[in-house]
Structure 1
Amino acid sequence: MSANRLYSAFDTEHPKPRHTSGQDHRTPFQIDRDRILHSSALRRLQGKTQVFYSFLGGEYDFYRTRLTHSLEVAQIGRSICGWLSKSSDLLRDGESVDADLVEAACLAHDLGHPPFGHTGERALHDLMAPYGGFEGNAQTLRQLTVTLFAESRDGINPTRALLDGVLKYKTLQVETPEAANHYLYNDQETYLDFVLGSQAFPAELTPGKERNGFRSLECQIMDWADDTAYSINDLADAIQAGFITPVKLEAWATQGVLSDAEAAHVDFLLKAMRDGKVEARLGRSIGEHIRACRLEERGNFLSASTRRYHFGLVVEPDIAARARVNKRIAKELVFDTPQLQQLDFKAASVIERLFNALRDHYIEPAPGRRSLHLLPEPVAKAIKAEPEKEQRARLVCDWIANLTDRSAFRVHQRLFDTSAGALEDLL
């Protein structure tokens, strides 16, 4: 297998030595991808919310989950790599954007999301505020470096390029303590330093928006693939589910000020809905989002260490604007509706009651409180071994974040629902 000259030993280095048999035919990025693909964390995404809560059975179990979304993002990410490698004249002979690396980043990008989507993330952030906060992207980094294959406490010991590929945010929580999201946990500074090759940020990359906008090429591709998937496919699900109808969409369009391009896109959606061709016509636009990508040359403080930072991703403005209007439609006609927000309220209350019960028994137990076995014994043992409440809280948070929507409801039912007394409720 010929080496891809876009990448060097700097990109394939690991936080700790990676032991292999010496006979593995795979590249380091393929090993990263395969370990994620076979992880329980990826499988659990099947039971986590994307748009519609995964506990909504029957007519709603056709719609996307966090897992199917991640698979779609991975496919789009690979296709963008192929398009860039084929179309860009900036790449030298023997260079291409590594599709296995981007696929790994795409598969991993939502591993840290808790049950109930962004509602669960916001609830855990508020509950974890005294203990260092909760952030989905930071939790993904924690999965990759600590909790996956937990017996080693090294996660999958990923390559530097993969860690950089999932690091959408490079600001520590202590640097922006008022932020509700878009930060890393403070104890992840070691991994941030590793990703940067122990180089300091230049003064102009201040904590927050500036620093978080400094992303590797692969991270930018992953982020656009994610935007593409949820701005198109989530919209298709919302239309198929009946949350967005021609009447509602027309009313929405008349209430705001749309550009000519935005109005034309709304007309396209209305025609697709009336023709009964939503999925096919929206699906074809994925190709337009892929071909809207091109590379641009850039220079920065990491350019001398890796060719990955010689290039940035540029997306055609009209396609980027189309993605933004799709997301606006979904937010205002789906996520902001009473039906969804009532379920959000229920989901947040489940997370809150679970966390508070576990806090009172494991994080900050009251003196003299009877010790109950509320958590699996290995989890409880690990928590009790931690001398600091912040670390105990982080382990409790790990356990809650790993739950699926249904398993969170079942645990809540056992703890709080007085009508739950059948044998099957215990299993």
Structure 2
Amino acid sequence: MTTVKLYDETDFERPAKKKDAQHKEWRTHIKRDYGRIIHSASFRRQQGKTQVFPGHESDFFRNRLTHSLEVAQIAEGIADRLNVIYRDELRGNEIDGRLCAVAGLVHDIGHPPFGHNGERALDEQMLEFGGFEGNAQTLRILSRLDKKVKYADDVDGDERAGLNLCYRTLASILKYDAVIPGKREVGAKVKKGYYGSEQTLVTDIKKQVLRGKTLPSGVEFKTIECQIMDIADDIAYSVYDLEDSLKAVFLTPASILASGDKLLDTVVEAVSEQLKQPVTRADILDAFFEVFADVTPADDAEKIEAVQYFMQATQASNAYCNDGYVRTEKSSELVHKFINGVEFKLDEENPALSKVWLKPDIRKTVEILKQYTFKAIIYSSRVKLGEYRGTELVTDIFKALNAEKGYLLMPDDVRERFLDAKDKGTKARTICDFVAGMTDRYAVEFWARLRSDGAESMFKSV
């Protein structure tokens, strides 16, 4: 039987051909990438970016950093399980669990302050210059913006090589194989993919990972590690965003099971779109009845008093908000169940593009939990107020920096790059990169210097 290799030496080459004195036999290329990411400024900044609830509200709630750590752990867990369950099909290969974890660590690194609201604000300001998209920004940060390595000779007019990660590592975060158009009409949604400024790099990534082969027509470029990271992200969203919502008492099992038709219909629409198949209100409620089966007393409702039934159900529902042991046990149970629902098939022609997916019934549950939590929370007036503030704040900062002589408000290194830029698009992207890299707190502080009566001290660096 022919041996199929999941990895090849070409996977571990780097865009900037630079001899690294730190390379040791005991330190693999992927472990080096892991170290570079852990020690990078952009990775640290995720601790100051909102996941669902603002970090200043409570130390309990997850932020982008803790969410990414959970995604990394789940991704590595998926790889570990597949290596055992599909040992025969893998034929002596093993999926690199550490590489899957690396993809998890950086999958959200491109998110701007205030999450999707900041993303929409920046995209609106960048309509004429390729827009703003979180996945594209992730690749840009790793391959350009993080300050680690420079090219010996400029590549596409830019000497920056970012963290200079392995091609296979960069491939692990390429979720969408499409270049984002340079311009689009007002109101048109941004296309998920990568910016034109990184198109040459993406071409090189494909060449290295596909080992010189041409991608077959109709085949999507999405590596096995990227697929695993994507599934891990969905699992983390579906379980831990729900857990945070229960802790915050934004949701309770009782309120979920008593959802109104309007909310259920929005979830039905979102889940149907993601699964590419129709679901019903009953499907949504059935999924939650299964998740919160312990809320409903085991006895038949007809055999006990209605008041007693109501009391037991209410107490069980409240336990999810008030008892950390109950929440943790449920979250662990769900993550374990979802990881066990991952399946695998080896691609003989292009091993790096081997397929990983969730069983249909498990994926349906994951999608329902994820979409319900998202839809239920975004319609909350308390969350909407925060959204509005974040959107306006990011927009205001960008406009101030993009105004005449706005460059005078920038840090020295950003100002220098802005002034060196040869065209409006590059100048706008420089501003966008700076604003996107801000944490929530830093963005508020920066805005306060521009607008607030109680501005920060001029002696504090920008």
Q: TM-score, normalised by structure 2?
A: 0.81
Look up the SS of the partner of 1:85 in the other structure. Answer: helix
Residues matched between the structures, number? 399
Determine the structure 1 residue equivalent to 2:132.
134
Runs (5+) with no aligned partner, structure 2? 151-159, 265-280, 297-315, 321-325
Query: Is the CA contact 1:253–1:266 (under 8 Å) kept in the aligned structure 2?
Result: no
**Aligned residues of 1:269 and 1:278 also touching (Cα < 8 A):** no
The residue number in structure 2 matching 1:104 is: 102
Distance in structure 1 (CA, Å) of the matches to 2:459 and 2:318 = 45
Q: Which amino acid aligns with 1:333?
A: A
Which of 194, 205, 228 matches 1:195?
Answer: 205
Rounded Cα–Cα distance in structure 2 between residues aligned with 1:67 and 1:273:
29
Residue of structure 2 equivalent to 1:338? 381
Partner of 1:171: 178
Question: Equivalent of 2:282, from 251, 258, 269?
Answer: 258
Give the equivalent residue in structure 2 for 1:286: 335
TM-score (norm 1): 0.87
**1:204 corresponding residue in structure 2:** 218
Code of the residue aligned with 1:101 in structure 2: it is: L
Note closer, same or farther for the CA distance 1:265–1:158 as it changes in structure 2 (3 Å cut). Answer: same
Task: Say which of 352, 355, 361 aligns to 2:398.
Answer: 355
Letter of the 1:319 partner, please give it: I
Residue 87 to residue 358, structure 1, CA distance change in 2 (3 Å): same
Deviation at 1:130, TM superposition (A): 1.3
Give the aligned residue type for 1:10: T
Aligned residue in 1 for 2:352:
308
For residue 316 of structure 1, report the CA deviation from its aligned partner. 1.4
Shift in CA distance, 273/17, structure 1 to aligned 2, threshold 3 Å: farther
| Structure ID, larger Rg | 2
Counterparts in 2 of 1:176 and 1:385: CA distance versus 1, 3 Å: closer
Q: Deviations over 1:84-123 (max 9, x none)?
A: 0010045444310001111111111111111101111111
> 1:227 pairs with 234, 249, 255, which one?
234
CA distance in 2, matches of 1:421, 1:115: 20
Give ranges in structure 1 of 5+ residues lacking alignment: 206-210
Q: Which residue of the partner structure matches residue 146 of structure 1?
A: 144
Aligned residue identity for 1:292: G
In 2, are the aligned partners of 1:265 and 1:322 still within 8 Å (CA)? no
Q: CA deviation at 1:426?
A: 5.0
Instruction: Give the conservation status (yes or no) of the 8 Å contact 1:90–1:295.
Output: no
* Per-residue deviation, 1:194: 1.1
- The residue matched to 2:414 in structure 1 has which SS? helix
Give the 3-state SS of the residue equivalent to 1:82 in structure 2. Answer: helix
- The answer for the alignment partner of 2:9 in structure 1 is 9
Q: CA deviation at 1:65?
A: 0.4
Give the structure 1 partner of residue 313 of structure 2.
Answer: none
Distance change (3 Å), C-alpha of 1:380 and 1:48: same
Q: Does the residue aligned with 1:373 lie in a helix, a strand or coil?
A: helix
> How many angstroms apart in 2 are the aligned matches of 1:340 and 1:13?
45
Q: How far apart are the structure 2 equivalents of 1:199 and 1:115?
A: 39
Relative distance call for 1:18 and 1:100 in structure 2 (3 A) is: farther
Percent of aligned positions that are identical: 31
1:396 positional shift: 0.8
The Cα shift of 1:282 comes to 1.9
